[in-house]
Structure 1
């Protein structure tokens, strides 16, 4: 119970001050003139003024409130390294016991995980939130149990109401190695090296090392081994192997004693862009489709076209002197022997052997295919003749053998069952906007009027068919290269719009990109489309079914998921990943890697425990940073402003907070008592003055005589 006097004047304070001033003036005059009874009148004035001030005694009934200690426990990913989790758990149990041993003290615990969107450890945000939920007048201290790797110091509270202490996990001898890719472009031109800056960085008490192994893998393939210096930036030129998305994975092997290997990998994704597509078009003779091929290729500014056309075959006898022909000798030897490897695609359009291109040149083209080149043959009646291109050294790599039969009748090209799965022809019937013909069967394309009968080779894929389901478009892989055979020379009818035409441009584009090994047109692929922590897994195959996909998590654990068939040859599934990092996916012999967020999350960029980040904010409150491995401190009470830490102890500031449960107000000078006292003093002053007055005494003596 605590009491205090309060004043609640009946009149404004200014009026009360004015009356007190008048009373003081009257008192001074009475004293100066030596008037009797001035003391009693002064007391009467004081009683009246006191009554007007209305004094009361306020008595408060209070309950004491306990002090609060806030503990923020860091449970982010970096706290799971080594034995930091066990250290933090032991520190929290010790703190609980110390707080429980103190009277009127409570512990508030805040558990902090990883920040959203790879934000790292948001320790200051958690502390600010905890302070906002508690009365500031009750907070006696704050304790952070962490490794000191804090990523939101800008959110630190501007003012802390009590000492702040840090119990630091980790070991003084910890060390770690991480791989950093400092610059990586999003796009690069094929054939031109792109420069990447790599750094292998040792942190903490790392052993002396000058060089370490570095592996570089592209699209999940076998890694190439290199030697890299430690703690130095290295410029590394990389040539992208193909167009489209290239996934480059850099890794250095884990070492005994390092904290984690989660930051030993780095993954970047670079889109390969072809600067120019070099195409060699070899036309055997002028015909209606030749102009169509030329126009299609010349319409693309990214295509460098070299067109080799036989305008005057050797058997032509027109009597024109050779010296009068306005023709330039074509550099056939240079093209077909010396520079054949510089072409991305070679197209033979109705070409047959006439002795213009020796067998040596055609054998060079076959070697070009085996070494990774691409050849497309658009076959006409020439392919079924005795001078067929198939009956040359190039025939060894072609996907179909002619039977010498030529169909001269109209037919509508069809996509085979295999073609519905193959990326070259998948969904091709949707391109023209006419999915069925008038009879309701097949794509609504215009007819072609000629087809060459061929026998497909054992390794070819027939993706389009024609008359009586005979093979029309065949694709085959030959060693490192690819070939395609179109068993008709009437594809140009689609370009001319005959009977509505068809998707010739799209078909040619897909053929060219498939033969140049663009990843999006591969038959057997496993790709991932990431969105935050969600990945959409896509499996393309020519098989009827696929097995389960094995997902290897960043921490080495594995999950197995089954994909759903969403279209012929396409299987997909949306999967929610538990954390950011590098994931490896494998189904059969196909595998890929994907990084959700960075390959090494922010928690693993800097892993060595340190209190330097928190030193400034701790020093403001006279707190301390204490390593857990050096012993857990006890709690002591300290006054505000005094040093709050010492050897083996950390301090709390008792707040003596209370809660008022009842308030009683008793008047010190009731109105009736004030009136009675003032009246008695005024009457007493009058009587006293009457007795002491000389005039009255003289008057009394006269009446006596």
Structure 2
């Protein structure tokens, strides 16, 4: 390839100034009728041309192969209806056409296949990232070699703002059918948490998109809490609707919302939505009943008052009725204590009742204690911290409350130093499992690093689970579930030694926190529970159980597929299984009578926010590149090469630009105006002008 190039010897501004001066002088000479003005002007032009430095450039060029890209969208929305078959057909025929173009020696072409799947990792949930994939594929190719890109897709691309600068046609080969319709449920506003016992407001809308065969005005919305029975609500279509949902328990509440699938609807995947609302307790109302003043009484009060979320009512018996010390009753309290109102009328308003060294001395009549037993059986929670009186005639065991107690006293009180130990069962129970990690000192020879206690009320266990033991394996902490409620029984009144730091102290705060959460039936401390969690697209199932037998896990996926993976015991009482790349949606978990639910991703991922095939989203990018759109249902298009800048699409065909790119192997420059030749020509012209004017 040859051509003329210029390398000025002086700045172009100077050459332009000299040229202007030359023109002025030539015009003046012509006006003065000097006969040699033309020869002088010609000599000046030769001199200016020499200053421009003209050279003959000769290049040795090697042609480069143009590159085309075939993007195949394999995201979840491409698995709908006839789309998988259409993709296979289009990919096969377009690949064959590209192979034919690649064999043309006059316009060589190389093509590369790029597959676009579901976004994973940090991009998970962002939909189809086709433009990111195209940009990555183009990164290693010079822009002047790119002949174009052909996308086999439904047109639902969610990163259009990342479309690369493409000086070549971008085409869309559209999957799907022209008259599709779909029903879509959208969560407009939903809270992340709610107060247990109160309602939260949820706003959603249901729309029908596309060519709806039989439009309707309303649909039935099904609402399910943690996989339970459905609640049916009639909702209008195309309008935002707000309604209340009750939060009935603490922890994560998984709520599934869905509408029925319509006849001929494109996909039911966007007919539902998953919502996780964390149930939190506004205030924990605790009734602490102290039977008598003792060294540990202040410890219970301080522990409970240190938590700002606890509303504490402390009922303390400072003087029993049998004690006659002459102090008038009106000097013992400012107001009359509302005992009847507290223990009969408002007992159900408390989340937890603690009996600390209570003894039966006539302050609380049997009817009050019978009401507390009823409170436990109907779902209440009681913690009994026993003192020496529990082994005697003044024991709570001799009241109506005995019917919910998990142990009977033997009338023996053991007064000796011992180290509270976690039982074999307690190592599997969530209340005491791993409690050694909260000890002030590390374990030594298998013994926990906390201080000793010096009193144990000997008990004969009748029900429940003994999770802590005293000397000779005697039950120290027993947990039980009478009726719908729960009760915990601590066979010692020396837990306060831990909070006072005796022999280093112990994890009393952590133990009380776990006890309180277990008594209030928090899901995180259930003994028999199946939990599922989404770990970057994997479903991680955890099974907690007091049994030593491996669980028989059964998982039901969103599409109804049933899996039975083997679980591995990761620590005592805890098994785990992982399902890699689990299908997004609501999974149902089961192990015998123990069931649960887990949410993997949203029930309606971004892929299915709008599943209708459409060219509208990519139309601006396609038009700007002179590309085209052809539906596969109208036939797979032919491919041809077109000149760069020409229209690259027509009826039944798509074009790839012939970029005619090349690489330069060698360059040679030959000056067109050698210095001796310039001097000779200028000299001859000046002499000629002088000779002409001298006649």
- TM-score when scaled to structure 2? 0.81
TM-superposition CA deviations, 1:494-547 (whole Å, max 9, x none): 444445543333322222221011222221233355543456544322122423
* Secondary structure in 2 matching 1:612: coil
CA contact (8 A) 1:200 1:228 kept: no
Relative to structure 1, the CA distance from residue 201 to residue 398 in structure 2 (aligned partners, 3 Å threshold; closer, same or farther) is farther
- Cα distance, 1:350–1:135 mapped onto 2, change above 3 Å: closer
Displacement after TM superposition at 1:330 (Å): 2.9
Partners of 2:233 and 2:410 lie apart in 1 by 57
Q: Which of 293, 296, 304 is the aligned partner of 2:300?
A: 293
Q: CA separation in 2, counterparts of 1:7 and 1:276?
A: 86
Q: Structure 1: which 5+ runs fail to align?
A: 695-705
Of the candidates 425, 450, 455, which is equivalent to residue 455 of structure 2?
Answer: 450
CA distance in 2, matches of 1:605, 1:199: 13
Instruction: Pick one of 457, 460, 467 that aligns with 1:463.
Output: 467
**Contact 1:495–1:502 under 8 Å retained in 2:** yes
Q: 1:137, CA displacement in angstroms?
A: 4.1
Whose Rg is larger? 1
1:67-119 CA-to-partner distances (Å, cap 9, x unmatched) read: 55433222222222222222233223333444455543534433222334223
Alignment of 1:191 with 2:197, yes or no, is yes
Aligned-partner Cα distance in 2 for 1:501–1:666: 96
Residue 555 of structure 1 and its aligned partner are, at CA, apart by 5.3
Shift of 1:344: 0.5
Structure 2 CA distance for partners of 1:53 and 1:474, relative to 1, 3 Å: closer
How big is each residue's C-alpha offset from its partner over 1:227-263, in whole Å with a ceiling of 9 and x where there is no partner?
2413332323233233333333334454553333333
Rounded to whole Å, the distance in 2 between the matches of 1:623 and 1:322 is 96
Q: Give the secondary-structure state (helix, strand or coil) at the position aligned to 2:149.
A: strand
Please state if 1:626 is matched with 2:630: yes
| Counterpart residue number, 1:164 | 170
Whole-angstrom distance in 1 between the partners of 2:7 and 2:395: 120
Q: Residue in 2 aligned with 1:699?
A: none
Provide the residue aligned with 1:93 in structure 2: 92
Aligned to 1:204: 210
Separation in structure 2 between the aligned mates of residue 660 and residue 503 of structure 1, nearest angstrom: 78
Q: Kindly report which structure 2 residues correspond to 1:70-89, keeping only aligned pairs within 5 A, or say none.
A: 70-89=69-88
Give yes or no for the alignment of 1:232 onto 2:239.
yes
For 1:487, the equivalent position in structure 2 comes to: 491
Please give the alpha-carbon distance, in whole angstroms, between the structure 1 residues aligned to 2:599 and 2:479.
34
Structure 1 range deviating more: 552-561 or 149-158:
552-561
CA distance in 1 between partners of 2:315 and 2:542 (Å): 42
Q: Say whether the 8 Å CA contact 1:99–1:105 is kept in structure 2.
A: no
Distance 2:158 2:586 in 1: 21
Whether the 8 Å contact between 2:532 and 2:599 is mirrored in structure 1 is no
**2:424 is equivalent to residue 425 of structure 1:** no
The alpha-carbon distance between structure 1 residues 626 and 334, as it changes in their structure 2 partners (threshold 3 A), is: same
Displacement after TM superposition at 1:617 (Å)? 1.7
> SS in structure 2 opposite 1:394?
helix
Asked if 1:532 is matched to 2:536, the reply is yes
Distance 2:623 2:486 in 1: 70
**1:415 has 2:422 as partner:** yes
1:389-404 matches, cutoff 5 A: 389-404=396-411
- CA displacement, residues 555-595 of structure 1 (integer Å, 9 cap, x when unaligned): 55555544443332233466643676555544444444444
Equivalent position to 1:600, from 598, 604, 629: 604
Q: 1:333 to 1:642 in 2, by over 3 A?
A: same
Cα distance in structure 2, aligned partners of 1:9 and 1:323: 115
Match of 1:222 in 2: 228
- Structural mapping, 1:135-534, within 5 Å: 135-158=142-165, 160-206=166-212, 207-218=214-225, 220-229=226-235, 230-317=237-324, 328-435=335-442, 442-457=447-462, 459-528=463-532, 530-533=534-537
- Residue correspondence of structure 1 range 95-110 to structure 2 within 5 A: 95-100=94-99, 103=104, 104=107, 106=109, 107-110=111-114
Between 1:659-668 and 1:183-192, the stretch displaced more is 659-668
Query: Does the C-alpha gap of structure 1 residues 34 and 95 become closer, same or farther in structure 2, counting only changes over 3 Å?
Result: same
